[in-house]
Chain A
């Protein structure tokens, strides 16, 4: 059986179920309690669990991220909510140098079972400083796991898996996905990390995306179908570990690959995928691997420029057309 839930409700269910299941789990962050969550993800949780397990913090990301890491070291399982991932920049040291390193530097004496979560990448006209796709910075760090669900069912299932994992896991959500509805299976349904899913099967080209860009890729695939192009859309779900098997198997069928993500084109998840596919599936490629990313500028505030800057379905369609183009360009 399934129920239709909004993305934010699915996240809340994951946290509530895990907090019911394990009393070491707690939620901490700005406005998560009395305000019911900046984006209402934690609505009702303070009433249910009380202020010891749903902890409002000052505006001090480095502080509460560090407290979370310390709590994880001594046996608790914190969920740290960043109001947005942009603000994690001031807590970067805690994530990079403490959360990601403790297990290795302590020779396995300490574990760090912590979840950092919050909305990531562009929203709607929040300006250049609040529109970062932070997953590219974090997915490069060994010692972390990074997930980026696109659908409510995966949001719930991956967050549950993240809470149960004994390593730091970063959950990349999206402000503009919080209201999106989707079918969510009843019961446990923990989604394994490191496993992508084929969101739409196709045979002419593979489009890899994650988080909100999965929806953009699906729109592009629908438009391409009208042109007679059958595009396979792979929803990565996890960025680290990366499910290269699913990508490679798809490229071996379609022989063409486009990667779509927010964030800048220099380096990042798309570049990583391009590297792996050209190594692992060199003989399967019938065309260069192309990426569709945000443009190489700080995000503009102006609405039209912002839209032009973000990857859109029409840019994905144009990129696929270029991959399939014939004759001398």
Chain B
């Protein structure tokens, strides 16, 4: 008995994904746990593996298609199975992710209303009441294959069909505002009858997307559809700024000692590596950021009130120090989590951060490797930034923004001498971290940075 494979939930927050590569082709035999495809989710590129064995009878979405959770992607069964029952699932479901650099057929809403994409299989999360109430499904889950398929059936209410007949409006290609893209009566009000025949005014140029200001030819903006990661960034950071009451504390620390101890450590590491002559591998180096991660971890142990999360019911003070490290990658950023940073040596941290960052850039981080941090660090020093404030990564209670080490004149013993300073800005969730607590943490962090041996000794 052939059955439909649907897009599985490959990360806790996944709502859709881009099916980037098929690893099986039609006719291939599939074993349990075989790699079927790779899916780019909001978090990473995930493996989509088979739960059952069988033969891949039909692929329903082309590589590069954007696919909603639960949407059919393939049919699996025995080679002799009759697929006529699945005829309604055309081979081209899923919306092709438009090639980069080319304008999408329609601006942002193209994402929400792909012109040729059937609506996803209706996703009901039935409550007990909705299970018992057998009367209310229809409007939520419109019948038909959703939206408009080229040459296919127009999804329009009977009343709309009647009015369209009377007015001579061609509904073909029209995508309505009703559930599932059904054309409803009020959609027709915005369609002039004479212009509508043969045109697709509503679908292809919805009023909201029509350019308000004429743009000279050649100067059209480049339209980039939102990637799953970009959507996640937008959603999570908006949620953070809109719901978390941020306040910011800044402090300047003397970084001379930190710079010096880093040089000493790296000299030792180079010597050790040179002695063993381990060939082509780049010699391991500890970065200032690695030292600051370690310093933060130690400071969080000393000021545990800063290692906390707000929940509506209670404040949560974490016993573990798991630090999310912001890593810039192409088209966005991710925050892999360095677990138990307080218990790791600076060298161990350096190795692990380097490995996490490499996999982040390759989009190979697993979702769980980006979850459940207790505190974040974002460092833009390598880009020449002196100081900045970062947006909290909920549900964490604070994030530290680290600037570059600046060469500054400082007054020591009544004389102006060359010095090194680093700006540290803590963004705090005021619901859980108060000003005095944040200040105590920054003071402890500065103390550690200015006495870097304490960083190493914990």
Chain B binds chain A: yes
From B132, B135, B184, B185, give the contact of A291 (CB < 8 A).
B135
Which of B113, B122, B159 makes the CB contact (< 8 A) with A285? B159
From B112, B157, B180, B184, contact of A329 by CB (8 A): B180
Q: How far is the CA of A281 from the CA of B184 in the complex (A)?
A: 16
Shortest distance between the CB of A67 and any CB in chain B (Å): 39
- From B46-54, B136-144, B377-385, B400-408, give the one contacting chain A: B136-144
Q: Which of B112, B133, B184, B185 meets A328, CB within 8 Å?
A: B112
Contact A288 B138 (CB under 8 A): yes
Name the B residues within 8 Å of A326 (CB-CB): 177-179
Mark each residue of chain B from 156 to 178: 1 if its CB lies under 8 Å from any CB of chain A, else 0.
01111110000000000000011
Task: Among B129, B136, B179, B181, find the residue whose CB has the most chain A CB atoms closer than 10 A.
Answer: B136
Is A19 located at the chain interface by the 8 A CB criterion?
Answer: no
> Is B157 touching A325 in the complex (CB atoms < 8 A)?
no
A123 proximal to B (CB < 8 A): no
* Residues of chain A contacted by B157 (CB below 8 angstroms): 255, 285-287
What are the interface flags for B292-322 relative to A under an 8 Å C-beta threshold, 1 for contact and 0 otherwise? 0000000000000000000000000000000
| B158 contacts A284, C-beta separation under 8 Å | yes
- B134 close to chain A: CB less than 8 A: yes
Given the complex of chains A and B, what is the CA–CA distance between A291 and B178 in angstroms? 19
A186 at the interface (CB under 8 A from B): no
Contact residues in A for B424 (Cβ distance below 8 Å): none
Is the C-beta of A322 less than 8 angstroms from some C-beta in chain B?
A: yes
In the complex, which of the residues B113, B129, B135, B179 contacts A325, with contact meaning CB atoms closer than 8 Å? B179
A-B contact count (CB 8 A): 78
Are A290 and B159 in contact, CB atoms less than 8 angstroms apart? no
Q: Do B139 and A296 touch across chains, with their CB atoms under 8 A apart?
A: no
Q: Complex formed: what's the CA distance from A236 to B159 in Å?
A: 24
Query: With A328-B112, A328-B119 in contact, do A286 and B159 touch (Cβ < 8 Å)?
Result: yes
> Which of A265, A270, A295 touches B129 (beta carbons < 8 Å)?
A295
Question: Which residue of A is nearest B131, CB measured?
Answer: A296
Given A290-B139, A308-B129, A322-B140, A328-B158 contact (CB < 8 Å): no
Interface residue A293 (Cβ < 8 Å from any Cβ of B):
yes
Pair B161/A283 contact, Cβ less than 8 Å: yes
CA distance A75 to B208 in the complex (A): 73
Does the CB pair B180–A328 fall under 8 Å? yes
| Cβ B136 vs Cβ A319 within 8 A | yes
Residues of B within 8 A of A283 (CB): 158-159, 161-162
**Given A290-B138, A328-B119: A295 and B159 interface contact (C-beta under 8 Å):** no
Cβ of B16 to closest chain A Cβ, rounded Å: 12
B contacts with A, residue count (CB < 8 A): 28
Is A223 part of the binding interface, using a Cβ–Cβ cutoff of 8 Å? no
Contact with B along A260-272 (1 / 0, CB 8 A): 0000011000100
CA distance A145 to B157 in the complex (A): 34
* Contacting pair A296 B134 (CB below 8 A): yes
- Contact yes or no, A293 B139, CB < 8 A: no
Are B139 and A323 touching (Cβ within 8 A)? yes
Residue of B nearest to A291 (CB): B135
Beta-carbon contact of B139 and A292 below 8 Å:
no
B179 proximity list for chain A (CB < 8 A):
325-329
Return B126 CB to nearest CB of chain A, in Å: 12
Q: How far is the CB of A208 from chain B (nearest CB, A)?
A: 13
Question: What residues of B have a CB within 8 angstroms of the CB of A327 in the complex?
Answer: 177, 179
Of B133, B160, B180, the contact of A265 (CB 8 Å cutoff): B133
Q: A266 — which chain B residues lie within 8 A by C-beta?
A: 134
Shortest Cβ distance from B441 into chain A, in angstroms?
Answer: 45
- Contact between chains at A284 and B135 (CB < 8 Å): no
A326-B178, A328-B179 known; A284-B159 Cβ under 8 A: yes
Question: What CA separation (Å) do A76 and B4 show in the bound complex?
Answer: 67
A297 interface hit (Cβ, 8 Å)? yes
* A328 and B181 contacting across the interface, CB-CB below 8 Å: yes
The CA of A297 and the CA of B133, in the complex, are separated in Å by 9
Query: A319 vs B135: C-alpha distance in the bound complex, in angstroms?
Result: 10
A296/B132 contact (C-beta < 8 A), A287-B184, A328-B181 known: yes
Q: How near does chain A come to B24, taking the closest CB pair, in angstroms?
A: 31
A288 to B184: give the CA distance in the assembly, Å: 11
Query: How many angstroms between the C-alpha atoms of A328 and B157 in the bound complex?
Result: 15
Contact partner, B133, options A285, A286, A287, A296, Cβ 8 Å: A296
Chain B residue nearest in CB terms to A326: B177
> Taking each of A288, A293, A308, which has the highest tally of chain B beta carbons within 10 Å of its own beta carbon?
A288
Q: Are B135 and A293 in contact (CB under 8 A)?
A: yes
Chain B residues closer than 8 Å to A295, beta-carbon distance: 129, 132-133
Query: Which residues from 303 to 344 on chain B have a C-beta closer than 8 Å to any C-beta of chain A?
Result: none
Cα-based distance from A309 to B52 in the complex (angstroms): 41
Interface centre among A282, A286, A296, A315 (most CB of B within 10 A): A286
Which chain A residue lies CB-closest to B182? Answer: A287
Q: Which residues of B contact A265 (CB under 8 A)?
A: 133-135
Interface 1/0s, chain B 101-129, versus A by CB < 8 A? 00000000000110000010010000001
B136 touches A290 (CB 8 A): yes
Give the distance in Å from the alpha carbon of A293 to the alpha carbon of B133 in the complex. Answer: 7
- Determine the distance from Cα of A255 to Cα of B157 in the docked complex, in whole angstroms: 10
- Interchain CA distance A154-B144 in the complex, whole Å: 43
Bound state CA distance, A284 and B161, in angstroms?
9
CA distance A326 to B180 in the complex (A): 9
Q: Which residue of B lies closest to A266 (CB)?
A: B134
Residues of B within 8 Å of A322, CB to CB, are 136, 139-140
* Structural contact, A286 and B177, CB atoms closer than 8 A: no
Apart from A286-B160, A326-B178, 20 more pairs, CB < 8 Å: A270-B135, A283-B159, A283-B162, A284-B159, A286-B158, A286-B184, A287-B139, A287-B157, A288-B139, A288-B142, A289-B138, A290-B139, A292-B135, A295-B129, A315-B133, A325-B179, A326-B177, A328-B119, A328-B179, A329-B180
8 nearest CB pairs, A to B: A295-B132, A288-B138, A291-B135, A283-B162, A286-B159, A265-B134, A286-B157, A265-B135
A-B contact pairs, 20 of them (CB 8 A): A255-B159, A255-B185, A265-B134, A266-B134, A283-B158, A284-B158, A285-B158, A286-B185, A288-B138, A288-B142, A295-B129, A295-B132, A296-B133, A296-B134, A325-B139, A325-B179, A326-B179, A328-B119, A329-B122, A329-B179
